[in-house]
Amino acid sequence: MTVSSAPGKVYLFGEHAVVYGEPAVPCAVERRATVSVSLRDDDHVRVRAEDLSLNGFTVEYSGSTGTRPDVDVPTPLVEAAMGYIDAAVEQARDAADAPDAGFDITVESDIPLGAGLGSSAAVVVAGIDAATRELGVELTPREIADRAYQAEHKVQEGQASRADTFCSAMGGAVRVEGDDCRTIDAPALPFVIGFDGGAGDTGALVSHVRGLRDQYDFAADTVETIGNIVRRGEKLLSEADPDSDPSEELLEELGEFMNFNHGLLEALGVSSRSLDSMVWAAREAGAYGAKLTGAGGGGCTVALDPTPETNTALRFTPGCEDAFRAELATEGVRVESEETGATERDQ
Ligand code: MEV
């Protein structure tokens, strides 16, 4: 059995705009998805998934991706979770040239599903790493990022950028602009996350922004302006010392850019009442800045505050279900344990 894990992420800047070739800066955070994979001696795939905000479910289905399990949880969530796992299995089989490989897979995650923290990317990244290692193939984090992107791209019907998957595979802060993906240096930023208990439909939200952008030049300008904020933000990060605590001046300016970024996302219609309430609660508690993170529609906000004030304020904010501090995850995908079976590597 091989066990791999990969982190979730927050967007410091640039979600949605990154889909149209603007840059984005996501940062990996210490909330991880862990995927355990054992090779089977038939071509079936058995998936056990817990802690995915799905109340846990266990399913067994044939290796063909057309078959859907019969379980008593909301179909769209199961379909989404299973779709990502299917796509990860397909990528692992392709990478190892083992089209008939079957797997027992267990997914555990402390990243809420569909809430803007990159849960699906983390599951796909960790899944590809564990499944390929089970098949005796060791991919680099960049190769895993690329395959995970292909998987997400397929599930999200062509509407995914490389940002979530690259960030989860590489860890730390990254910069993504189209196919140009790099890791960047950043000081440990004091992230505080608020979670409204809900989830947004990434595909529908991306389509909504695409529609607005096609229809109105001012919406296209809004997307471009988000790109300009990202460029200014990454310049600030590049001038900071990654090994020291961020200066107050840096936090103030980054915070201001985050507030701007949130306002533009709100204008594009991807915020929600609960996300806005959490953003305002954070600002009123003294956070340097706050914004939604990820696709929006519901899910999470991210604020910058080194003090406990934002965390406390969020806990008392109607609509906020959970609030927590998140450390930058400097490590991306990693193998947690490997019990080698009769794979090629051992012979
Ligand atoms: C979703 O986490 C982020 C979006 O920008 C979509 C993507 O980049 O694939 C909304």
pLDDT value, residue 82: 77
Asked whether 89 lines ligand 1 (CB < 6 A), one says no
pLDDT value, residue 84: 87
Say if CB 85 and CB 21 are below 8 A apart.
no
Identify any residues that bridge with 35 across adjacent strands, giving them in sequence order.
4, 107
Distance (Å) from CA 205 to ligand 1 centroid: 9
Asked whether 33 lines ligand 1 (CB < 6 A), one says no
Which pLDDT tens digits describe the chain residue by residue (347 residues)? 999 999 999 999 999 999 999 999 999 999 999 999 999 999 999 888 765 543 334 444 444 444 555 444 455 556 667 788 889 999 999 999 999 999 999 988 888 877 889 988 999 999 999 999 999 999 999 999 999 999 999 888 878 899 999 999 999 999 999 999 999 999 999 999 999 998 888 889 999 999 999 999 999 999 999 999 999 999 999 999 999 999 999 999 999 999 999 999 999 999 999 999 999 999 999 999 999 999 999 999 999 999 999 999 999 999 999 999 998 999 999 999 998 654 444 43
Among candidate residues 49, 60, 138, the one with its CA nearest the CA of residue 92: 138
pLDDT value, residue 155: 85
- Which conformational region is residue 343 in: left (phi greater than 0), alpha (psi within -120 to 50 degrees), or beta? beta
pLDDT value, residue 146: 98
**Phi and psi angles of residue 84, each rounded to the nearest 5 degrees, phi first:** -65, -40
Q: 10, 13, 16, 165: which to mutate for ligand 1, most atoms within 8 A of CB?
A: 16
Say if CB 116 and CB 299 are below 8 A apart.
yes
* Positive or negative: CA dihedral 218, 221, 226, 232: negative
Place of tokens 């960049």: 142
Asked whether 16 lines ligand 1 (CB < 6 A), one says yes
Asked whether 22 lines ligand 1 (CB < 6 A), one says no
Nearest-atom number in ligand 1 for the CA of 116 is 2
Asked whether 202 lines ligand 1 (CB < 6 A), one says yes
Distance CA 38, CA 2 (A): 7
Asked whether 19 lines ligand 1 (CB < 6 A), one says yes
What is the residue with the minimal CA distance to atom 8 of ligand 1?
161
Nearest-atom number in ligand 1 for the CA of 164 is 2
Asked whether 160 lines ligand 1 (CB < 6 A), one says yes
DSSP 8-state symbol, 307:
S
Domains located in the chain, CATH noted? 2-184 (3.30.230.10), 191-326 (3.30.70.890)
What is the residue with the minimal CA distance to atom 9 of ligand 1?
160
Say if CB 290 and CB 301 are below 8 A apart.
yes
Q: 159, 202, 264: which to mutate for ligand 1, most atoms within 8 A of CB?
A: 202
